[in-house]
């Protein structure tokens, strides 16, 4: 970012994970593949939109992957807003792991799984992407959104479990609790930021969901 003497106002940003997909329910790793929301995911997005109705939301951004984009459009429609898509907010490119369950990945790529478990940020699946690179692109997208949005209201960013997790690590430190934090479907994490200093207001809340059972599969895929 270009340095300036003008102070960027602090912006409240709601980081939202997309709603559920059939692949989420089946434990398949999605990565950057285009997997749509299922009926539960659409209901989750509608419940979230209803719960946000009294917030001063003035902009909605989203990953361009279908599951995030549709979640964002459901939220934005409640406020009469457009959705601004940004590919930098995508989930991790999981390469050859995409479309497989973790047991299938473990059976087919045992050495790679061992390497992944030993190096969270710098491992990349075959034909995939490092989390550190995903973190860099998503963090720059966040800074650009904060700098560009001069309205006084809140901003919603709809992204993915893995993307939100590495953003939190970048903003608040490489803490083991952030590595293990569950980022559920349509959960809401709230931060305040001026692009230089950041405050965590709320982490991965999902009070808007009547059914709160936790999935048994990873939430960053």
pLDDT digits (tens, 9 = 90+) for 54-108: 999 999 999 999 999 999 999 999 999 999 999 999 999 999 999 999 999 999 9
Average pLDDT, the chain: 91
pLDDT band at 1 (very low <50, low <70, confident <90, very high): very low
Q: Coil, strand, or helix at residue 216?
A: coil
pLDDT digits (tens, 9 = 90+) for 17-37: 999 999 999 999 999 999 999
Would 48 be classed as within a structural domain? yes
Would 162 be classed as within a structural domain? yes
State the average pLDDT over residues 123-133.
97
How many CA atoms within 13 Å lie on the side-chain side of 90? 18
* Residue of 3, 39, 85, 91 marked active site: 91
With residue 140 as reference, give the H or E element that holds it: helix 131-148
pTM for this model (two decimals): 0.91
Would 61 be classed as within a structural domain? yes
Range of the domain at 59: 11-95+131-205
**Is 179 designated active site?**
no
Q: Which residues of 65-103 are buried (b: 16+ CB within 10 A; e: fewer)?
A: bebbbbbbbbbbebbebebbbbebbbbbbbbebbebbee
Token readout for 146 is: 């904060």
Pairing of strands 198-205, 57-62: unpaired
Would 1 be classed as within a structural domain? no
Would 169 be classed as within a structural domain? yes
pLDDT band at 3 (very low <50, low <70, confident <90, very high): very low
Q: Which CATH number is 156's domain given?
A: 3.40.50.1240
Would 116 be classed as within a structural domain? no
State the average pLDDT over residues 28-53.
97
Q: How many domains does the chain have?
A: 1
* Residue of 18, 73, 160, 198 marked active site: 18
The 3-class SS string of 193-208 reads ECCCCEEEEEEEECCC
Would 117 be classed as within a structural domain? no
pLDDT band at 218 (very low <50, low <70, confident <90, very high): low
Provide the pLDDT for residue 176: 67
pLDDT band at 173 (very low <50, low <70, confident <90, very high): confident
State the average pLDDT over residues 155-174.
95
Provide the pLDDT for residue 40: 96
Instruction: Indicate whether 220 pLDDT > 50.
Output: yes
Would 197 be classed as within a structural domain? yes
**Is 18 designated active site?**
yes
């Amino acid at each position: 970012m270009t340095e300036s003497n003008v102070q960027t106002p602090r912006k409240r940003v709601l980081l939202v994970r997309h709603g559920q997909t059939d692949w989420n329910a089946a434990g398949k790793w999605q990565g950057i593949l285009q997997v749509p929301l299922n009926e539960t995911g659409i209901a989750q997005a509608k419940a979230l939109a209803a719960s946000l109705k009294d917030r001063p939301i003035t902009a909605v951004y989203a990953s361009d992957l279908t599951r995030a984009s549709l979640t964002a459009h459901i939220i934005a429609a409640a406020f009469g807003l457009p959705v601004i898509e940004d590919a930098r907010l995508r989930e991790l490119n999981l390469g050859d792991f995409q479309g497989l369950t973790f047991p299938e990945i473990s059976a087919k790529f045992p050495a790679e799984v061992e390497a992944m478990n030993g190096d969270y940020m710098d491992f990349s699946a075959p034909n995939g992407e490092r989390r550190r690179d995903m973190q860099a692109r998503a963090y720059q997208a966040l800074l650009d959104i904060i700098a560009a949005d001069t309205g006084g209201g809140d901003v919603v960013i709809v992204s993915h479990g893995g993307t939100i997790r590495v953003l939190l690590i970048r903003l608040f430190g490489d803490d083991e609790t952030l590595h293990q934090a569950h980022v559920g479907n349509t959960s809401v994490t709230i931060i305040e930021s001026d692009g230089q200093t950041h405050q965590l207001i709320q982490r991965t809340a999902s009070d808007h969901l009547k059914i709160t059972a936790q999935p048994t599969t990873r939430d960053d895929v």
